[in-house]
């Protein structure tokens, strides 16, 4: 079965066929973080979803070019720069660094390109110039440059490709300057915002006077620069469908006259304890907040990967405990498999290379059947797993194949019916699917920095014979879900 995905553009599930005539290369653009704060767990749901799409495509043998922009200038950022009295770079640099650290904690593959809006001002200006030359953009009396929806539609282009818009009820001809607005106020939107005193030092010289780009044009300029005027996949959270992605289509197709993106994928939102995340409700979690509670990246990644990307996901701390238990089941099974395969019990499962070389599940099935296998060890896991993900990334079904496999392996291990070769083949099968899941082996777990510092503090207290403090730290660690284990290399933290 080939890969099928729900395309927001056609509002239907479609077979995935890359634009590349050789069917090999795939261009994928994911709207990246707006670096004005630490990314929250909802943002991470969307970024982990992007990582899953990329990993699955790579697993199927596609050569993916993954681009994720860094939005380092837009309305919210300017407001915060003004309020904190810092420079733009100083302010965004801190959150950008945190973003890349978090990306690593969640074991997301690093995008091949992470362009910054502030480093693409020339490309943005040239795109706006093209739109002006084609009569689709104009400079208004306030000095800003706007995209004319009327002129765009007049050229036979459709505004409202991702979202059906009823132009009889909309106030066209008006202008909107802010980066975010609702569909009820659809209007000519800003491409270049003329400098105003509130912008402080954040401005660039441009053909229309000093100013800064609008948010939407940033993504059109960076995506087309790196991936060309037409590319395969564009991803983001569902809140970006309108106006951000609709405006990206209008700007890009308006400037190039070419079809912009073949498949638009949108991830549904994450709620926390059934509610929209908000600081006042006390249900607002950054990744760091969860690490400080003693959870680890692997557990958070697992939980974010349990629900289908088009379903709203209800995140709970209880769910994270469940993630811990589910991973423990997998780890225990893998540990026993390693023993059966004669590998070191605590060593990583990396027995054989993990890159899948073939595109079809059938080829994978053939590749993974151990020669002369009579007992039929469940090495067809990658093929069944791939079939599930090929069905519009049906992750629940994919996890179903994983836990079925765990059950079957446990049964065969209990019966002592797995040969060393079969155990090795089963581990290879696991490695292949983990190249998509990215949950890793338990000994690859990184201890959160805060907890490592606590462990050091405990050692220092013991050395100073302050046993009361040492015990208090041990209890604190335990409350966060970690125990101290003495090893020949000294004390280590282990997840309970
Ligand atoms: P931002 O940094 O605000 O530009 O958002 C980065 C990504 O996170 C975008 O793709 C958003 O659509 C997505 N996003 C924002 N809030 C949520 C949420 N609660 N659940 C899932 N994705 C979200
Ligand atoms: Zn974007």
Q: What angle do CA 316, 320, 322 make, to 5 degrees?
A: 110
Q: How many residues does the chain have?
A: 496
Mean pLDDT along residues 340-362: 46
pLDDT tens figures, 302-337: 999 999 999 999 999 999 999 999 999 999 999 999
Return the percentage of the chain with pLDDT > 90, whole number: 76
Within 10 angstroms of residue 63's Cβ, the number of other Cβ atoms is 12
Least confident of 25-34, 74-83, 468-477: 468-477
- Provide the 8-state DSSP code for 109: P
Mean per-residue pLDDT over the chain, rounded: 90
Give the pTM: 0.87
Distance of CA 341 to the CA centre of its chain: 34
- For atom 15 of ligand 1, which residue has the closest CA? 43
What are the tokens at 200? 């402080």
On the question of pLDDT at 112 being above 50, the answer is yes
Q: Report the pLDDT value the prediction gives residue 490, as an integer from 0 to 100.
A: 78
Tell me which range, 190-199, 277-286, 463-472, is most confidently predicted by mean pLDDT: 190-199
Is the CB of 255 within 6 Å of ligand 1? no
Is the CB of 42 within 6 Å of ligand 1? yes
Q: Report the pLDDT value the prediction gives residue 81, as an integer from 0 to 100.
A: 95
Is the CB of 270 within 6 Å of ligand 1? yes
Within 8 A by CB and 6+ apart from 107, the residues are: 297, 298, 301, 438, 439, 440
Is the CB of 31 within 6 Å of ligand 1? yes
Within 8 A by CB and 6+ apart from 459, the residues are: 491
Is the CB of 30 within 6 Å of ligand 1? no
pLDDT tens figures, 369-390: 443 343 344 679 999 999 999 9
Three-state SS letters, 461-490:
HHHCCCHHHHHHHHHHHHHCCEEEEEECCE
- For atom 18 of ligand 1, which residue has the closest CA? 42
Cα-Cα end-to-end distance for the chain: 40
- For atom 7 of ligand 1, which residue has the closest CA? 43
């Amino acid at each position: 079965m080939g890969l099928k995905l729900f395309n927001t553009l056609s509002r239907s599930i479609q077979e995935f066929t890359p634009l590349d005539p050789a069917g090999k290369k795939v261009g994928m653009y994911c709207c990246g973080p707006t670096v004005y704060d630490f990314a929250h767990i909802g943002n991470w749901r969307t970024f982990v979803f992007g990582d899953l799409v990329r990993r699955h495509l790579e697993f199927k043998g596609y050569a993916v070019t993954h681009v994720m922009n860094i939005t380092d200038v837009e309305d919210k950022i300017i407001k915060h720069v003004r309020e904190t009295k810092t420079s733009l770079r100083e302010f965004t640099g801190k959150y950008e660094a945190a973003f890349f650290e978090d990306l690593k904690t969640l074991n997301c593959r690093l995008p091949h390109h992470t362009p910054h809006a502030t480093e693409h001002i020339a490309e943005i200006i040239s795109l706006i110039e093209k739109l002006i030359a084609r009569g689709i953009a104009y400079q208004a009396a306030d000095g800003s440059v706007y995209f004319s929806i009327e002129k765009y539609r007049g050229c036979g282009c459709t505004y409202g490709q991702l979202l059906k818009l009823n132009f009889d009820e909309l106030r066209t001809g008006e202008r909107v300057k802010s980066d975010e607005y609702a569909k009820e106020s659809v209007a000519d939107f800003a491409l270049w915002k003329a400098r105003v005193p509130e912008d402080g030092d954040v401005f660039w010289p441009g053909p229309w006077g000093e100013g800064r780009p609008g948010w939407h044009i940033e993504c059109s300029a960076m995506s087309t620069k790196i991936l060309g005027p037409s590319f395969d996949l564009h991803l983001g959270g569902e809140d970006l469908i309108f106006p951000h992605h609709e405006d990206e289509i209008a700007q890009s197709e308006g400037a190039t006259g070419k079809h912009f993106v073949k498949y638009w994928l949108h991830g549904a939102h994450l709620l926390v304890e059934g509610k929209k995340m908000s600081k006042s409700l006390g249900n607002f979690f950054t990744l760091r907040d969860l690490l400080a509670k003693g959870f680890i990246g692997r557990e958070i990644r697992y939980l974010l990967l349990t629900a289908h990307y088009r379903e709203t996901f209800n995140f709970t701390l209880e769910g994270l405990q469940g993630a811990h238990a589910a991973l423990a089941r997998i780890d225990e099974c893998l540990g026993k498999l390693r023993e059966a395969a004669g590998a070191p019990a605590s060593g990583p499962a990396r027995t054989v290379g993990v890159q899948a070389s073939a595109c079809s599940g059938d080829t994978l099935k053939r590749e993974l059947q151990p020669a002369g296998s009579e007992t039929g060890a469940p090495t067809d896991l990658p093929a069944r797993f791939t079939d599930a993900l090929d069905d519009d990334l049906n992750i629940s079904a994919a996890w179903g194949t994983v836990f079925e496999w765990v059950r079957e392996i446990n049964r065969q291990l209990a019966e002592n019916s797995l040969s060393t070769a079969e155990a090795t083949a089963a581990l290879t099968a696991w490695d292949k699917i983990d190249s998509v899941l990215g949950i890793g082996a338990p000994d690859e777990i990184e201890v959160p920095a805060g907890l490592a510092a606590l462990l050091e503090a405990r050692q220092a207290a013991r050395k100073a014979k302050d046993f009361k403090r040492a015990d208090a730290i041990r209890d604190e660690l335990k409350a966060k879900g970690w125990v101290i284990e003495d090893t020949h290399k000294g004390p280590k933290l282990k997840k309970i």
